[in-house]
Amino acid sequence: MNIKTFTYLLLGAFFAIMVSISCNKDKDKDNNTPEDTLAQYLTYIPPSNQRIGDAQAGRDYLIYGNYIASGIPYSLVGALLPGDGNSLGRTGDNATLPPGFSAVDAINGVRVVAPNCLQCHGEYLNGQFVMGLGNNSADYTGNQSGLIAIADLLITNNFGQNSPQWQAYLPFRTSTLKLSQILKAEVRGINLANNVFAILAAYRNPDNFVWTDDPVMPVLEKMAPMDVPAWWHTKKKNALYCNGLGEGDFARLIMAANLLTVSDTAEARQVDSHFPDVVAYLQSLQPPPYPQTIDQTLAQQGKQLFTATCARCHGTYGDTETYPNLLVDLDLIKTDPLLAEGYFNEAAAYVNWHSQSWFINNPNAAHLVPKRGYMAPPLDGIWATAPYFHNGSVPTIADVLDSKNRPTYWKRTFDNTDYNYQKLGWNYTAETAGNAQTYNTTLEGYGNGGHTFADHLTPQERTALLEYLKTL
Ligand code: HEC
Ligand code: HEC
C-alpha cells in the first residue's frame, strides 16, 4: 500500500471508528385502527428554546472550524489526500481536501488534517456531493487499529515523539485507538455514531471532559446500527435523533463530535460558542429536488392517499406545511427496537453520564431524554435518502410501503448512480445469506419489520403514493 492510500484510509477510518398498528394481534385491523386508538401511541414533543445563530458563519465554521482540533500533521498528508475538485468551494489549504476533512489549527498551533461532520453528514448522489445527506456508503466493518500504528510510525519518523506534531496528534490517536478496539459494524453502509459518543463519554470525566484511561462507567458494547438522517429535517424537529433523544439546546447537542479530541471544558466552551451558527446553517438547508419527471395526475391521487393515511404522523407538504413532531410508541411502529430500548438498558449509563456533565450546564443545557419509540421523521427529499428506517434496513420506499416484499438479505453495489427511480431507492439483489457487503436483517438491531401502514393499499395506490413522495 502506498503512503497516499494508507493515509487516506487512516483518516477515513477515523469516523469509521467513531464512525401494523398491532398492539392487537389481529393483523387485518392494523391499518384501519380508528384515530382514537392511534392517539394512545402518539406523543407530541414540544419545542425547546434555541440560541440565535448566523447561517453563513455556521457554514464557514462547519467546513473550516477546529471543533476537532487534533489530527495528522498537514505537512505530512495534506498534499496526499485525493480531493474531489473542491465541491465545497473552499479556499486556502482546505481547497484540495475532500469534503470530510478540514485543515485546522490544533490547540498548540500545529496545522493538522482532521475529520469533520461531513464524514457522516455529506454524501455523493448521482456523482454530486450533497451537503447534509447522510453518508450511506462508508465501510466500518474492518478493524482499523493497525492504521494507527502506521500513523504512529510516520509521525515518529518525521518529527519524533517529543515534537509539537506528536502532541497535536495525540488526542486524536488516543480516542481513535480506543474506538477501534470496541466498535463493530456488521455490514457496510451503516453508522455507529450513537456508540461512538457513548464510548467517548465513558473515557471522559463528565465535569471537565478530561480523558481517563480507566472508564468512568461501563463501556457500551452492544452496537446499534444507524442510517444517518438528512440535515434538512433539523428545521422541523422539536427534538433531535430518531428516538427524539435530544432535547434542549440543539447547538450543544450537536457539538458532541468535539468529544473525540476535546482537551477540557474550556475548549468545549469555545467550540460551543460557534454552534448556534451551525444550527442556523443546518436549518437553512433544502433537500435536492427529484431529478426526473413526475406524473402530476398520479401524484395528485397519491397526495389524497397520503393525506388520509400518512399525514397524521408525517405532516403535510407544499403550500400548507405542517409537521406534528410525534413520537410513535414501539408497540405501534414495531420497527427494530434495539436503539430506542437501548437507552433504557445498556446505554442508560451514558444518559446518566450526560445528565451529570458539562452539557447540562445552564443556561444552554442539552438533555438526553430516552423515549420508547421513534419520531415520525419529516419526509422532505425522501427520494434521496435511501436506505430507509433509522437503521437503514430497507433499500427502497416501495419496500417501506409493502412490508412483505422487504428483502431479508440485500446487497447493493454502493455505486451512487445505481439508483432505482421506480422503487425510489437503491437497486439491490436479494441474497440468501449475509456478509459484510450484504445487509442482514436477521441480526440484532438490523431488523426490517414494522411500519405496515401502507400494506393494505392496492399496488396501484402504492404506485400513486410513490409518485407523490417524489414531490416532497
Ligand atoms: C460518526 C458519524 C457522525 C459524525 C462525525 C457526526 N454525526 Fe451527526 N449524526 C450521526 C448519526 C448516525 C445521527 C443519527 C442519530 C440518531 O438518530 O439517533 C446523527 C444525528 C445528527 C443530527 C440530528 C438529525 C435529526 O434529524 O434528528 C444533527 C443535527 C447532527 N447529527 C449534526 C452533526 C454535526 C453538526 C456534526 C459535527 C459537529 C455531526 N453531526 C457529526 C452521525 C454523525
Ligand atoms: C403512526 C404514525 C405513522 C404513520 C401513520 C405513517 N408513518 Fe411513516 N414512519 C413513522 C415512523 C415513526 C417512522 C420511523 C421508523 C423508524 O425509523 O424506525 C416512519 C418512517 C417512514 C419512512 C422512512 C423514513 C426514513 O427517512 O427512513 C417513510 C418513507 C415513511 N415512513 C412513509 C410513510 C407513508 C408513505 C405513510 C402512509 C402510508 C406512513 N409513513 C405512515 C410513523 C408513521
Cell of 101: 476533512
Rounded Cα distance between 230 and 287, Å, is: 8
Q: Which residue's C-alpha cell is 496526499?
A: 80
Instruction: Tell me which ligand sits closest to the C-alpha of residue 377.
Output: 2
Q: Which of 240, 243, 270 is nearest to 254 (CA)?
A: 240
Report which protein residue has its CA nearest ligand 2's atom 3. 313
Residue 15 has pLDDT above 70, yes or no: no
Cβ atoms within 10 Å, residue 283: 19
Q: Which of 342, 459, 343, 330 is nearest to 398 (CA)?
A: 459
Q: Which residue's C-alpha cell is 401502507?
A: 454
Report which protein residue has its CA nearest ligand 1's atom 28. 254
Rounded Cα distance between 92 and 133, Å, is: 25
Q: Which residue's C-alpha cell is 414533543?
A: 45
Answer left, alpha or beta for residue 228, where phi above 0 means left and psi between -120 and 50 means alpha. beta
Report the sign of the C-alpha dihedral through residues 219, 225, 231, 233, in that order: negative
Kindly list the protein residues whose Cβ atom lies closer than 6 A to any atom of ligand 1. 15, 18-19, 67, 117, 119-121, 191, 193-194, 196, 226, 228-229, 231, 233-234, 237, 240-242, 254-255, 257, 278, 282
Backbone angles phi, psi at 106, to 5 degrees: -70, 170
Kindly list the protein residues whose Cβ atom lies closer than 6 A to any atom of ligand 2. 242, 309-310, 312-314, 328, 332-333, 335, 374, 376-377, 379, 382, 385, 388-390, 397, 400-401, 451, 453-454, 465
| Residue-wise pLDDT tens digits, 406-438 | 999 999 999 999 999 999 999 999 999 989 999
Residue 9: predicted pLDDT: 47
First to last CA, the chain: 45
| Residue-wise pLDDT tens digits, 28-44 | 444 455 556 899 999 99
Report the sign of the C-alpha dihedral through residues 362, 365, 368, 371, in that order: positive
Cell of 321: 406545511
Instruction: Tell me which ligand sits closest to the C-alpha of residue 338.
Output: 2
pLDDT category, 143, cuts 50, 70, 90? confident
Q: Which of 417, 413, 403 is nearest to 449 (CA)?
A: 403
Q: Tell me the pLDDT of the chain averaged across its residues.
A: 92
Rg (CA), the chain: 22
248 CB contacts (<8 Å, ≥6 apart)?
A: 48, 49, 360, 364, 365, 366, 367
CB 50 within 8 A of CB 276: yes
- Between 261 and 11, name the one with better pLDDT: 261
Rounded Cα distance between 403 and 400, Å, is: 6
Residue 34: predicted pLDDT: 54
Centre of ligand 2 to C-alpha 291, Å, is 23
pLDDT category, 320, cuts 50, 70, 90? confident
pLDDT category, 144, cuts 50, 70, 90? confident
Centre of ligand 1 to C-alpha 254, Å, is 7
Cβ atoms within 10 Å, residue 163: 15
| Residue-wise pLDDT tens digits, 213-260 | 999 999 998 999 999 999 999 999 999 999 999 999 999 999 999 999
Centre of ligand 2 to C-alpha 333, Å, is 8
Q: Which residue's C-alpha cell is 498534499?
A: 79
| Residue-wise pLDDT tens digits, 42-87 | 999 999 999 999 999 999 999 999 999 999 999 998 888 999 999 9
Cell of 373: 419509540
> Which atom of ligand 1 is closest in space to residue 119's alpha carbon?
5
| Residue-wise pLDDT tens digits, 101-110 | 999 999 999 9
Cβ atoms within 10 Å, residue 249: 25
Residue 439: predicted pLDDT: 98
CB 194 within 8 A of CB 157: no
> Which atom of ligand 2 is closest in space to residue 229's alpha carbon?
26
Rounded Cα distance between 249 and 49, Å, is: 7
Centre of ligand 2 to C-alpha 450, Å, is 10
Rounded Cα distance between 156 and 160, Å, is: 4
| Residue-wise pLDDT tens digits, 351-395 | 999 999 999 987 899 999 999 999 999 999 999 999 999 999 999
CB 243 within 8 A of CB 250: no
Report which protein residue has its CA nearest ligand 2's atom 13. 376
Rounded Cα distance between 396 and 412, Å, is: 11
Rounded Cα distance between 153 and 176, Å, is: 16
CA distances from 81 to 73, 150, 242 (A): 12, 16, 33
Residue 10 has pLDDT above 80, yes or no: no
| Residue-wise pLDDT tens digits, 265-299 | 999 999 999 999 999 999 999 999 999 999 999 99
Rounded Cα distance between 72 and 169, Å, is: 6
Rounded Cα distance between 159 and 156, Å, is: 5
Q: Which of 302, 274, 287, 194 is nearest to 236 (CA)?
A: 287
Cβ atoms within 10 Å, residue 3: 12
